[in-house]
Amino acid sequence: ESRYNPTAIEEKWQKTWAERGIDQTPTETDKPKFYALSMFPYPSGNLHMGHVRNYTITDAIARVHRMQGDRVLHPMGWDAFGLPAENAAIKNQTHPAKWTYNNIAQMRSELKRLGLSYDWNCELATCSPDYYKWTQWIFLQFFQAGLAYQKEAKVNWDPIDQTVLANEQVDSEGRSWRSGAIVEKKNLRQWFLKITDYAEELLQDLDKLTGWPERVKLMQANWIGKSVGAYLEFPIVGMEEKIGVFTTRPDTVYGVTYVVLAPEHPLTPKVTTSERQEAVETFIKEVANQSELERTAEDKPKRGIPTGGKAINPFTGEEIPIWIADYVLYEYGTGAVMGVPAHDTRDFKFANEQNLPIKVVIVPPGNEDLSPHYELKEAYTDPGIMVNSGEFNGKNSTEGKQAIIDYAEQKGFGKARVQYRLRDWLISRQRYWGAPIPVIHCPNCGIVPVPEQDLPVQLPEDVELSGRGASPLAQLESWVNVPCPSCGTPAKRETDTMDTFIDSSWYYLRFCDAQNDGKVFDSAKTNGWMPVDQYVGGIEHAILHLLYSRFFTKVLRDRGLLNFDEPFQRLLTQGMVQGLTYTNPKKSGNAKYIPSNLVNPNDPKDPETGEPLEISYQTMSKSKYNGVAPEQVINKYGADTARMFILFKAPPEKDLEWDEADVEGQFRFLNRVWRLITDFASNQSSAKLDKSKLENPKSKTEKDLRRAIHTAIKEVTDDLGSDYQFNTAISELMKLSNALTDTDSKNSAIYTEGIHTLILMLAPFAPHIAEELWQMIGNTESVHKASWPKYDPAALVADEITLVIQINGKTRGTIEVANTSDKDTLEKYARESEAAQRYLEGKEIKKAIVVPGRNLVNFVVG
Ligand code: ANZ
Ligand code: ZN
């Protein structure tokens, strides 16, 4: 009898499966489709445990669906453009393409060792000209639709990477997501995609995403940030121009005691009086160096100064001062606000600090008659009744909002307005390793799209990467200078490349027709596979990647290429993989993390200082020295054990603590299954399943075994339903394995059915050992082509139940009785039981409470 040798069988089956092409996407169309997708990786060099978890989850899902009769698309590719390749190239004097493709080769071979059932014919890399040709083509679709435009903009400038960053790439401390440098502001002409045109639909359609976690939908809604309110114009004393403000509280307009401009607002210098000019200029310079977060943080004091200018409240005719302040952002709304200190918390603080008047115009119902000037300890921000508001007095503030808007519209000084926090997507990067934006700037014709037959605009290979100054492409004269495609005049190529989030906004569409070299994709094919039925990936993509992908889908739909509204039907955000982490609480920064190989686990001390260490589980990362390399685990236990452990240790959406003892536990389980089935294979002359013998078990033990088998089928199938509770599914497999080990009916057709069932249900999780054992018991077709077992409801019914006997709520004994839910019969059994006889002797039964579902009878006695 052979030992379980994972290395040998895993290599063997990976090779055989590849030769037989069993993971290829089926072409028949009579089965329901299922598109299973993991977020594709950035080829950074090696797989980490987070990748392994992500892909194992999706693979198990894909395999279950195949066995359950779906035709499955399960592709994999590479999100291969981006800064790290360029930085590595600068550092190591190689070409980014070389670095990238080496990493892809490395990671692909690691993926293959995991036994993931990808159709490698769909593989794509976003940095390949076959792919970015279509990224460029899609850009031109946006351009033709008026959804790609250039504008001068203050951009985030990363002084280390020497590049512009999207807002999303700047963290809450104002640092670059990659280099960590404090981001500066700089003015540049940049390309934008008009995602704001789709803000409302992106918000509304969140309701269609019933298979998404609520928390992700909420994050998207907050990012879009819809506010309903009004645009109101305040005339400026002595000037033609007016100050437009956006407010969500038009009902408070009678309480405006000042107006505030963002310091960068173009009206700032115009309204500033000469006495105030110097102070205003100094203030503007100070604010320019602050991040958005510093400017708006709730706990920071609001800073501002008067400009000397005055505006008029169009409702009251009152003159009010014009200020500038840091808390007013130029990029949001109109970049100006009406100050209502009585009803806005920030304004209240600001007015108190700056000694500006506070005027109450909303009061809680029933307080209308109180002195209008009663002292406020804090802003009154709730709805209420309007006071001090002229003809609007007495209205409740909710109606008041509309009444004020109607009035403003009538008089021509305002209107209703919806405002979104979402801004247009800045896609320009002054970098080399990205898809070049396919336009040419002609002195005669302006911006000319590169004609389709000239796509892709290829990245030149002979580029010099210094990591400094302007974009590498801009420095390459031979590449930049081209004749205008329209008039032939000497013209210049656009030298910006696209944000890599663009590449990943449409890759899932390309997977449906990955080898098409004549089109971006065949719409019939893509419409046939889309939407993705199950998308699996990290929560870090909850906002941007998913929002951008949804945006692309909607735009391509409106261009007639797609016939659906949302790309991802269901989304699973898998939890983090955490490793055992040793920290020295006396140290700070990264120095506090101590590599585990320097620590004695029985007495964890800092090897340098001898100080005691703290132990915790934290997300695996290089800087914490708490990572476990997938390769090592596979070498030691095999991929099947790694997969089983990952699926068993925690539900997919929860964090997972990597624990070697539990890895061992799964290894032992697979070894038990191995022995169970090798024993079966060698003892049984013919292990063929005789279906005719299954339904009439010959003995109680056979019947019990059959119940265990069918209960397992039911439970595992339910666990794999829509919630993918792999952990409980694997527990059920363990129970089934124990039942098969312990039964006395090993020479029955039912036992054979149990063995088959165990292997079949193990197959999605531990595909190699399942295949080996499946062949060992005499099958020739792959287990992965077999059908998922179905349970027989009749087999689930137990013959006997254990009935609990209670006297006054106290359990006094149990009896085995025939399975029934008939109350009278249960009561009769209970009365006749020895326990009842003993405890009830000489006592009067006041009441018998029978609970059939809980198999319980309680006698209440006096
Ligand atoms: C007057 C007012 C009175 C306001 C009141 C609120 C309460 P959201 O919900 O975030 O859209 N605001 C408008 N533009 C701004 C900008 N560029 N920078 C900073 N603040 C700005 O908030 C809209 C409210 O934020 C607006 O309504 C405005 O203050 C302020 F009792 O107007 B409100
Ligand atoms: Zn031209």
Alpha helices in 272-315 (DSSP H): 277-288, 292-296
Q: Has residue 680 got a pLDDT over 80?
A: yes
Return the minimum-mean-pLDDT range out of 297-301, 392-396, 548-552, 650-654: 297-301
Kindly state the tokens that stand for 579: 């490793």
Return the minimum-mean-pLDDT range out of 42-51, 328-337, 780-789, 791-800: 791-800
pLDDT digits (tens, 9 = 90+) for 185-215: 888 899 999 999 999 999 999 999 999 999 9
B/e letters for 404-420, b = 16+ CB within 10 Å, e = fewer, are bbebbeeeebbeebebb
CA distances from 468 to 183, 366, 477, 495 (A): 16, 67, 17, 15
Q: Measured between alpha carbons, how far is 63 from 726 in angstroms, rounded to an integer?
A: 13
Kindly state the tokens that stand for 355: 């000694």
* Burial of 844: CB neighbours in 10 Å, binned 0-12, 13-18, 19+: exposed
Q: Which ligand is nearest to the CA of 232?
A: 1
Q: Is residue 433 within 8 Å of residue 83, measured between CB atoms?
A: yes
For atom 14 of ligand 1, the residue with the nearest CA is 333
- What is residue 388's three-state secondary structure? coil
Per-residue confidence (pLDDT) for residue 685, from 0 to 100: 56
Q: Rounded to the nearest 5°, which phi and psi values hold at 180?
A: 80, 0
Q: 790 labelled as ligand-binding?
A: no
Q: Measured between alpha carbons, how far is 334 from 247 in angstroms, rounded to an integer?
A: 10
Q: Is residue 348 within 8 Å of residue 302, measured between CB atoms?
A: no
For atom 26 of ligand 1, the residue with the nearest CA is 247
Pocket test for ligand 1, best of 227, 246, 268, 290 (most atoms within 8 A of CB): 246
380: Cβ below 6 Å to ligand 1? no
- What is residue 770's three-state secondary structure? helix
Return the minimum-mean-pLDDT range out of 65-74, 200-209, 283-292, 820-829: 283-292
Sign of CA dihedral 559, 560, 566, 569: negative
Q: Measured between alpha carbons, how far is 291 from 305 in angstroms, rounded to an integer?
A: 19
Kindly state the tokens that stand for 654: 């929860």
Q: Which residue has the tokens 């081209």?
A: 482
Confidence band for 165, pLDDT divided at 50, 70 and 90: confident
Atom index in ligand 1 nearest the CA of residue 362 equals 31
Confidence band for 60, pLDDT divided at 50, 70 and 90: very high
The count of C-alpha atoms lying within 13 angstroms of the C-alpha of 406, restricted to the half-sphere facing its C-beta, is 6
Closest CA to 204 of 383, 34, 405, 418: 418
Which residues does 19 contact at the CB level (< 8 Å), separation at least 6? none
Averaged pLDDT, 53-60: 98
The count of C-alpha atoms lying within 13 angstroms of the C-alpha of 355, restricted to the half-sphere facing its C-beta, is 1
Q: Has residue 372 got a pLDDT over 60?
A: no
Confidence band for 468, pLDDT divided at 50, 70 and 90: low
Q: Which ligand is nearest to the CA of 420?
A: 1
pTM recorded for the entire structure? 0.89
pLDDT digits (tens, 9 = 90+) for 130-152: 999 999 999 999 999 999 999 99
Closest CA to 322 of 285, 288, 273, 355: 273
Q: Measured between alpha carbons, how far is 475 from 606 in angstroms, rounded to an integer?
A: 51
Q: Cα angle at 806 between 804 and 807, to 5 degrees?
A: 160
Averaged pLDDT, 565-593: 94
340: Cβ below 6 Å to ligand 1? yes
For atom 20 of ligand 1, the residue with the nearest CA is 328
Find the 229 Cα to ligand 1 centroid distance in Å: 9
Find the 247 Cα to ligand 1 centroid distance in Å: 5
533: Cβ below 6 Å to ligand 1? no
Q: Is residue 216 within 8 Å of residue 310, measured between CB atoms?
A: no
329: Cβ below 6 Å to ligand 1? yes
User: DSSP string of 503-548?
Assistant: HTTSHHHHGGGTT-SSSS--HHHHHHHPSBSEEEEEGGGTTHHHHH
Q: Which residue has the tokens 């000019």?
A: 277
Find the 628 Cα to ligand 1 centroid distance in Å: 49
- % of the chain exceeding 90 in pLDDT: 79
The residue ranges of DSSP E strands in 327-380, in sequence order, are: 336-339, 362-363
**What is the chain's Cα-based Rg?**
35
* Burial of 587: CB neighbours in 10 Å, binned 0-12, 13-18, 19+: middle
Q: Measured between alpha carbons, how far is 50 from 574 in angstroms, rounded to an integer?
A: 9
DSSP 8-state class, residue 125: B
The residue ranges of DSSP E strands in 632-770, in sequence order, are: 656-657
494: Cβ below 6 Å to ligand 1? no
Per-residue confidence (pLDDT) for residue 305, from 0 to 100: 96
Confidence band for 166, pLDDT divided at 50, 70 and 90: low
pLDDT digits (tens, 9 = 90+) for 761-792: 999 999 999 999 999 999 999 999 999 999 99
Q: Is 308 left (phi over 0), alpha (psi -120 to 50) or beta?
A: left
For atom 29 of ligand 1, the residue with the nearest CA is 247
For atom 11 of ligand 1, the residue with the nearest CA is 227
Q: Is residue 363 within 8 Å of residue 376, measured between CB atoms?
A: no
Q: Is residue 73 within 8 Å of residue 35, measured between CB atoms?
A: yes
Which neighbouring-strand residues pair with 232? 245, 414
Q: Has residue 84 got a pLDDT over 90?
A: no
Q: Has residue 178 got a pLDDT over 90?
A: no
For atom 28 of ligand 1, the residue with the nearest CA is 247
Find the 279 Cα to ligand 1 centroid distance in Å: 26
Q: Is residue 272 within 8 Å of residue 307, measured between CB atoms?
A: yes
Per-residue confidence (pLDDT) for residue 173, from 0 to 100: 85
The residue ranges of DSSP E strands in 327-445, in sequence order, are: 336-339, 362-363, 385-386, 414-420, 425-426, 428-429, 439-442
pLDDT digits (tens, 9 = 90+) for 338-357: 999 999 999 999 999 999 99
Q: Which ligand is nearest to the CA of 227?
A: 1
397: Cβ below 6 Å to ligand 1? no
What is the number of other CB atoms lying within 10 angstroms of the CB of residue 109?
10
Q: Has residue 168 got a pLDDT over 70?
A: no
Per-residue confidence (pLDDT) for residue 47, from 0 to 100: 94
Per-residue confidence (pLDDT) for residue 687, from 0 to 100: 53
CA distances from 197 to 224, 294, 330, 419 (A): 12, 29, 20, 12
DSSP 8-state class, residue 41: P
Kindly state the tokens that stand for 733: 């497999």
Kindly state the tokens that stand for 100: 């990238």
On the question of a cis peptide bond just before residue 852, with omega within 30 degrees of 0, the verdict is no
Q: Has residue 290 got a pLDDT over 90?
A: no
Q: Which residue has the higher pLDDT, 722 or 583?
A: 583
Alpha helices in 328-368 (DSSP H): 345-354
Closest CA to 374 of 353, 388, 391, 355: 388
Q: Is residue 251 within 8 Å of residue 239, measured between CB atoms?
A: no
Q: Is residue 441 within 8 Å of residue 489, measured between CB atoms?
A: no
Per-residue confidence (pLDDT) for residue 467, from 0 to 100: 61
- % of the chain exceeding 70 in pLDDT: 97
The full set of domains in the chain, from first to last, is: 31-126+506-574 (3.40.50.620), 137-194+424-500 (no CATH), 226-418 (3.90.740.10), 577-649 (no CATH), 678-796 (1.10.730.10), 800-861 (3.10.20.590)
pLDDT digits (tens, 9 = 90+) for 815-852: 988 888 789 999 999 999 998 998 888 888 999 999 98
For atom 12 of ligand 1, the residue with the nearest CA is 337
Confidence band for 20, pLDDT divided at 50, 70 and 90: very high
Per-residue confidence (pLDDT) for residue 743, from 0 to 100: 93
Per-residue confidence (pLDDT) for residue 688, from 0 to 100: 63
65: Cβ below 6 Å to ligand 1? no
227: Cβ below 6 Å to ligand 1? yes
Neighbours of ion ligand 2 (CB under 5 A): 442, 444-445, 484, 486-487, 489
B/e letters for 795-816, b = 16+ CB within 10 Å, e = fewer, are beeeeebebbbbbeeeebbebe
pLDDT digits (tens, 9 = 90+) for 509-530: 999 999 999 999 999 999 999 9
Confidence band for 566, pLDDT divided at 50, 70 and 90: very high
Per-residue confidence (pLDDT) for residue 260, from 0 to 100: 97
Q: Which ligand is nearest to the CA of 445?
A: 2
Per-residue confidence (pLDDT) for residue 1, from 0 to 100: 54
Tell me what ipTM this predicted complex has: 0.95
Q: Can you say how many angstroms the Cα of residue 679 is from the centroid of all Cα atoms in its chain?
A: 45
